[in-house]
Amino acid sequence: MKWMETIKVQAAIGQEKSVEMALQDLAHAAANHPDCSGFLNATVYRHAVVPGYLAIHLFWDTEQAQIRGSVWGLNLIEILKAMGLVDHAVWIQNSKEEGDQKNANWKS
């Protein structure tokens, strides 16, 4: 099952660059970490307008989605809490069949 964790952080004033660098480092570290079985990729984003508002998306493919988040993601949250306000969500990818059926029903 494919799923994604989104972790957003609003960096404290003066912490913007260090938070962005930390997110980049953590995204690269996930690839080789033992808690990351099923890990596919991580990407870091910054808000288009708000300085210091950053997000990391962790992409997974595991037998079951971890609805509370991965061990890796939960550890990231604890690290990021020291740097600003944190929000965390888990998103599950719809299967192709589900998406096709929903689209077919919508068009009717």
- Could you tell me the domains of the chain? 2-107 (3.30.70.100)
Helix or strand or coil: residue 67? Answer: coil
Tell me the HSE value of 107 on the side-chain side, using a 13 A CA sphere: 6
pLDDT at 16: 86
Residue 99 pLDDT exceeds 60: no
pLDDT, tens digit, 9 for 90 and up, residues 27-58: 888 777 776 789 999 999 999 999 899 999 99
Q: Is the pTM of this model over 0.85?
A: no
Residue 8 pLDDT exceeds 80: yes
**Residues 70-78: what's their mean pLDDT?**
91
Q: Report the C-alpha gap between 1 and 49 in whole angstroms.
A: 34
pLDDT at 100: 53
